[in-house]
Structure 1
Amino acid sequence: MKVFQSIIWAFFAFFLAGSFASCKKDDLPNNGEPRIRYVRITEPTAADSLLIGAAQGQLIAIMGENLNDTREVWFNDQKAILTSTYITATSILVSVPSPIPIDVSNKVKLIFGNGTNLEYQFEVQISEPLVGSMVSEYVATGDVATIRGDYFYEPITVAFAGGVEGEIVSVEPQILRVKIPEGAQPGQVTVTTNFGSTKSNFWFRDNRNIVISSDPFTGWWNASYVVSAPGPDDPQLINGNYIRVKKVIGDWAWTEVAGGPADAMGDISKNIPDEAILKPELYNLKFEVNTKKPYDKSMVRFNFGLAAQDNANYQWAPPIDTKGAWQTVTIPFNELASSYNAKLAVNPNGYWTRVLIQGPGEWDADISFDNFRIVPKEIKE
């Protein structure tokens, strides 16, 4: 009899416990099922600032119901680090993982102790590539170009005008090296990652508005400086002929390198756009330079865009040392314009041009130039 009574009391206790548990579950929000209502920033004074995405490393608050059994939180394919004291029934404080996801779902996933999971639409906001510059905008087919910028994350592609892609050689967050493919044409470069595509604000093999190219030589001075068939000691050709100055230049010695008046330079003297003359702040002077020996003495002086000779000039000061490699130099065109005595004025007949070396110190020069051009700072799509 006592055994029977014990069984009855045990059953009754079990029934009461089940009823109590059932009532408790019914009393819970969303019938005890986990739910994410929204995500917000953690700043108390801005608690109403809701988020649909966040940057890598940002601390966020996931708000909802019945979240206290959360064991893992994933953003795309990256697992976040959880602190148990930051997990409650109504909130989870967690930092978005810093590693770059490969499989991008744009979702946050919560995994619970019973093995179930809950997904919520949420974007990890990773910047699209930033394409800043190329060490040299002129690189031969098969050679490796270096692109500087930011947010270079694999997998990554580099496409050139002409509809061809380069072979990726190496990837760092701010430096990208790519082998130039057959068929690459002058134009913008497009860098693409999982997080977007960006076109460069420069042209690869930029052939716009060239005012000194030596293809063919024109002007008053120093045809003997032009290299058309490089020898073993010469820099390689990057765009036809180039200029090489290889000599000792004395202290304050006057050395004309290239240029002359419009009628001596020919049609190339007309290549500066009218807008560059009227609004020089919108344009850059660009050219390629190669130093076999450091440019560490004297001064290289430029005149571009003048109607006639003006002995005031822009002074491109040392030191520069490219160690035998070609590099692109960029100088704001308004800096040249402000260095002249004369004011720039549109001239349909062309412009006076000069590259001159004169300055302090004896210089054992071995410097090459190519592709002097006046190009827009911004490419208009």
Structure 2
Amino acid sequence: MKNIKIVSLVACITLVLSLVFLGSCSNDDSASAYSGPPVIESVSPTGYETDGSIKPFEPVTLGYPKMYYVIHGKGFTTATKVTFNDYESYFRPTFVTDTDIVVLIDENTPYANSSNKLKVITQSGTAVFDFVIAPPVPTVSGFNPVNATEGQEVTIKGKYFLNPIVTLAKTKTQEAVPVTVVSSTLEKIVIKVPANADLRTLAVANISGETKAAYAIGSAIFDDVSYYGLDFPSWNNFTYEVNDTAEQGTTYIAKKMDPWGSLQGNWSWYDQLTPFSGLHVAIKAKAPGKLSFVFNGNWDNNPPILDVTTEWKTFYLPWSVLTNTDRVQNITFQNRSATDKGDGVENTFYIDNIGFTLKE
């Protein structure tokens, strides 16, 4: 499929170039008569949309890295360099006529705090054109505190937060609600939680698109501290680690487990589960290993086995893979790390961001 797309893109560019060269040949007299500095008149995308349709060949003033564009104007024959925001992008000299250049915007082109200028540099001078490079669609890696209340400040972490717009995301029954942005950088946004935000999902948008957080406000069971009556008794012999390596917030649980050892969290009883489709938890370990997720004491009912690495990984556990899901009474994490011969081995596990997953 990838090769087909590449061939299709080349075919599309060939078609564009054919039109370009035909246009140039039909007007040789006027083209050869121009001898001044280069002039950019327009920029148009070329290639395919995500649905496979050909992009409309219409002028734009906003471009995306890793996509092809046709720069139209005059005086391009001796072009030596094309830059977007003063960062050079590649073009083939064979894809250049006096009136057109086909260029691929480099994926590393800066998009923030930039000049917003396209430049075509030739032996006869430099043409400058107002042109904005769009950032990638935002990514949201998490937010803290998850169980925030009205008026409380929350920090959202992720990437590509250029002039971000934050909302409580639209649902099947609720419209999107604007959220006040207190401050923002490209990787961090501080917001103020609006009214009626409980069990709503945060969405972050920039000019390229929108993305949603993976979990909802008010859905945390453990997020630096425990909620919903969760308790990890002291006899578990665990510790709380507080540093900037937490998957969520600043605090996570660390437990050195002997072979088949475990960590158990208890509730007195919690059965308000209607809004949720299951649970999620982030885990990593000192060494790659396995951890059994025993729900409500069902040791003999094939509890899920989680493959844990040395990097944080979030596991989603729908009610369908658990048993006795009319309530949450206890969760036990059991060390199932073993050698190739099946002998259990000691391992240290780190657990963070335990929470309920909201139904779609």
TM-score, length of structure 1 as denominator length: 0.50
Q: Do the aligned residues in 2 keep the contact of 1:301 with 1:313 (CA within 8 Å)?
A: no
Aligned to 2:57: 50
Aligned to 1:316: 305
Q: Alignment partner for residue 46 of structure 2, among 41, 46, 54?
A: 41
CA distance in 1, matches of 2:218, 2:208: 28
CA distance in 2, matches of 1:371, 1:83: 49
Q: Alignment partner for residue 338 of structure 1, among 321, 346, 351?
A: 321
Does structure 1 residue 75 correspond to structure 2 residue 84? Answer: yes
Deviation at residue 312 of structure 1 after TM alignment = 1.7
Identity %, equivalent residues: 14
Q: Alignment partner for residue 213 of structure 2, among 189, 195, 201?
A: 201
Deviation at residue 77 of structure 1 after TM alignment = 3.2
CA distance in 2, matches of 1:375, 1:226: 28
Q: Do the aligned residues in 1 keep the contact of 2:220 with 2:353 (CA within 8 Å)?
A: no
Q: Do the aligned residues in 2 keep the contact of 1:249 with 1:364 (CA within 8 Å)?
A: yes
* Pair 47,207 (structure 1): closer, same or farther in 2 beyond 3 Å: closer
Map residues 250-261 of structure 1 onto 2, 5 A cutoff.
257-259=264-266
Deviation at residue 89 of structure 1 after TM alignment = 3.3
More strand by share: 2
CA distance in 2, matches of 1:72, 1:244: 54
Deviation at residue 355 of structure 1 after TM alignment = 1.5
CA distance in 2, matches of 1:352, 1:47: 55
CA distance in 1, matches of 2:304, 2:214: 24
* Pair 76,295 (structure 1): closer, same or farther in 2 beyond 3 Å: closer
Q: Do the aligned residues in 1 keep the contact of 2:78 with 2:123 (CA within 8 Å)?
A: yes
RMSD: 5.8
Map residues 245-324 of structure 1 onto 2, 5 A cutoff.
245-246=255-256, 248-249=258-259, 257-259=264-266, 265-266=268-269, 269-272=270-273, 274-276=274-276, 280=277, 283=278, 285-289=279-283, 291=285, 294=287, 296=289, 299-303=291-295, 311-321=300-310
Deviation sequence 1:75-97 (CA, Å, 0-9, x none): 34334556665443343343434
The aligned amino acid for 1:36 is E
Map residues 186-197 of structure 1 onto 2, 5 A cutoff.
none
CA distance in 2, matches of 1:366, 1:116: 61
Deviation sequence 1:136-191 (CA, Å, 0-9, x none): 9789xxxxx99666xx59x899x9x996658x8xx9xxxx6x7x99x99x998888
Aligned to 2:334: 357
Aligned to 1:62: 71
* Pair 301,129 (structure 1): closer, same or farther in 2 beyond 3 Å: closer
The aligned amino acid for 2:235 is S
CA distance in 2, matches of 1:373, 1:337: 16
More helix by share: 1
Deviation at residue 128 of structure 1 after TM alignment = 3.3
Q: Do the aligned residues in 2 keep the contact of 1:211 with 1:374 (CA within 8 Å)?
A: no
Deviation at residue 201 of structure 1 after TM alignment = 0.9
The aligned amino acid for 2:357 is V
The aligned amino acid for 1:130 is T
TM-score, length of structure 2 as denominator length: 0.52
Does structure 1 residue 225 correspond to structure 2 residue 231? Answer: no
Larger Rg over CA atoms? 1
Map residues 105-184 of structure 1 onto 2, 5 A cutoff.
108-110=118-120, 115=125, 117=127, 119=129, 122-131=131-140, 133=141, 152=160, 165=183
CA distance in 2, matches of 1:315, 1:339: 8
Q: How many residues align?
A: 290
Q: Do the aligned residues in 2 keep the contact of 1:56 with 1:96 (CA within 8 Å)?
A: yes
The aligned amino acid for 1:100 is P
CA distance in 1, matches of 2:236, 2:343: 22
Q: Do the aligned residues in 1 keep the contact of 2:281 with 2:355 (CA within 8 Å)?
A: yes
Q: Do the aligned residues in 2 keep the contact of 1:242 with 1:368 (CA within 8 Å)?
A: yes
Deviation sequence 1:238-268 (CA, Å, 0-9, x none): 8899876556355xx8x672336xxxx14xx
Does structure 1 residue 92 correspond to structure 2 residue 95? Answer: no
Give the match's secondary structure for 2:65.
Answer: coil
CA distance in 1, matches of 2:349, 2:128: 64
The aligned amino acid for 2:100 is S
Q: Do the aligned residues in 2 keep the contact of 1:217 with 1:223 (CA within 8 Å)?
A: no
Aligned to 1:376: 358
Deviation at residue 61 of structure 1 after TM alignment = 3.4
Q: Do the aligned residues in 1 keep the contact of 2:135 with 2:208 (CA within 8 Å)?
A: no
Q: Do the aligned residues in 2 keep the contact of 1:137 with 1:203 (CA within 8 Å)?
A: no
List runs of 5+ in structure 1 lacking aligned partners.
Answer: 1-26, 140-144
CA distance in 2, matches of 1:164, 1:89: 49
CA distance in 1, matches of 2:126, 2:250: 66
Deviation sequence 1:273-332 (CA, Å, 0-9, x none): x132xxx3xx5x2235575x54746x423316xxx968425323354446xxxx5x5222
Give the match's secondary structure for 1:28.
Answer: helix
* Pair 75,270 (structure 1): closer, same or farther in 2 beyond 3 Å: same
Aligned to 2:4: none
Aligned to 1:12: none
